[in-house]
Chains A and B, each alone.
Chain A
Amino acid sequence: MVGLIFGSIPGLTFSMALALMLPFTFGMQTTPALGLLLGVYVGGMTGGSVSAILLGIPGTPSAAATVFDGYPMARKGEASVALGAAVIASTFGGLFSLVVMMLLLEQVAAVAIKFGPAEIFALVLFGLSTICGMAERSMLRGLIAGTLGLMLMIIGLDELDGVARLTFGTVQMQQGVNLLVAMIGLFAVPQIISTFMHYGRIEPFKMPADVRARLPSFRQLKDRLWLMVRCSGIGTGIGAIPGTGGPIAAFLAYDHARRFDRTPENYGKGELSGVVAPESANNAVTGGTMIPLLSLGIPGDPATAVILGGLLVHGLYPGPMLFRTHLELIYALYVSIVLAYVVILVVQLWGIRIFVKVLSVPPHVLAVCIIVLCGLGSYAIRNSIFDVYLMAVMGLFGYILQRVRIPVAPIVLGLVLGETLEKQYRTALIMTEGDYAVFYTSGVALFFFGLTALTIGLQLRSSLRRRPAVE
């Protein structure tokens, strides 16, 4: 429900919901804690379509492609059909990706168990290379953000030597910059400032009269079953590649649906396939992202980075050993995702009329509520007032970065992966007494170095092509 609410409210991201919810899992057992996080993730991905269809404003970036045909359908009086189809397509995509995840996870993990420090370093470097993809428009700015994230990670006690790094004698700083505190500040505070800025300047949401979710006809769904399968495949594949995520999958699926439809001219005017395709694809991403996350410990997007943080907080280290030491948790995770989709299907189909009233809460009132949640969420992580101050500083930092067009997602990636990157690099060299050959004599390491170079090369080419002509 929390994910659904955050996902459906424009401007509130489910990454923020995950970051705010994570402290609440500290007192829970591991399985319900995982269930809560995955429920928020799945709910957030699904909820984005509600405001996309009803208001023409995507609740999440992943729902942006749903606007093209969902909103015209709502304007034609078919809001309920679009909402119903979106919910069913989302559930189908999510469950499809779950099956693929169950089939592939152990195979990937079996290979990953043979990895040593050099291979893990190369792999994490590949994970970091996705920074280039996370930087929406400028690769250079993405790299700056990633470097800043790695610098923040440096602060605190060095794990290998036990040396305090840049703590300036303060005890609180020895624990370093907490990932969650940083994320709450970076994601939530700039949004609060933006909402305060626009207070009184934007019109409040107007609720459409028909907000009931009604199932589309069996024939409508049957005609689009093969489309849902294809788009779910696209979503799962895209999700398994770190640094891609829901928006890319949704747009690719939308483009695919239009390209192979007999009546492409209907797209953009309220075509049901234009809702089904992106919704099945963006929800299929949820299972796809779990493949590199659980088998290799690489988060594909900011939301899965928070989930990774949650796993670490509960003492679970994603990777091959997870399947040997905590197999029961892997099964619990599968069940959690299925349950989340079933609950969301029921909630959205039966409760949308009440639920969308949250959309009518004035954004500035929500922003004030979020200030309080930010403070309490930061405090709850370590019961430390210092973390509340740190969250405020990180929030200001995030706002300044936003002003200079530096994306914050790579900072999170730097914070999440930086520690492993440094530790494995140094461990590999300590084990070989400083022999750098360890990095280029391993076939696996070379493979990941090659992938890293390929990712950067492709992003660089795409970035250069996107550059606007300068007068």
Chain B
Amino acid sequence: MDKTVNQKAWFLVLPVFLVVAFSAVLPLMTVVNYSMQDTFGNNQFFWNGVGWFKELLDPSTDLGGRFLASLGRNLFFSLVILAIEVPLGIVVALSMPRQGWTVAACLVILALPLLIPWNVVGTIWQIFGRPDIGLLGYVLNHIGIDYNYVSNDIDAWVTVIVMDVWHWTSLVALLCYAGLKSIPEAYYQAAQIDGASRWAVFKAIQLPKMNRVLLIAVLLRFMDSFMIYTEPFVVTGGGPGNSTTFVSIELVKIALGQFDLGKAAALSLVYNLIILIVCWIFYTVMTNAGNERKHQEGAA
């Protein structure tokens, strides 16, 4: 035991503890506190135990019904945009040039949607899709397609999904492109020698080498789309009716619209928990894949 004992180090760490306590731990504990209580305004609180959590998971109650419905919509939304953005991103990455000035041009163009603030993206599409003054909405109606995202559920969904694809496919494409660039030229030459078709090259070389970046892309896109708020809120406000009300929108309605702090706190804790679990699953899968790779390289 010749460890130096120097308690002064605590003073150096203390500021961080304080900042984290005030910015994260205390607010979170407040939320936990609210989630156990009910309020009728005037800062009057009544103990409710785990009542809100029970209600949340029971679809027959108002709170549970709204939560589970929005959760279902949210999961469906995430699935749809993943099913579109991942294959589309791969195709875009595969068709990008590999050298020359066009590479830089492609990268800049692809990066543009990623640089636009989210509420601006929402505003762009909100105006773009309007049947009276929006280019898209006007043209669609003019050629005979009855399109109105304010009144039609399906039109609203299509608008929100197309908007997300427009906004985020670039991210998947850029990640895939990075993965593709890391494949040595010899692999393609060997595949040529082996008489591999374009599809066989994709399946045997490109897809396996893109594995890891694709996993990251899926993780990022899933989390982002699961927490989506700004863009659909700006475009549809969660409507028509409740048809595009995702979990975050529902949460804000309950917390700030109805000022039901107890219900909202319980909902946000469950919401948080879901995100943590999904993160943990992805993290485990990814580090396992990483370990496997290290194994290979260690053996090589």
- Are A and B subunits of one complex? no
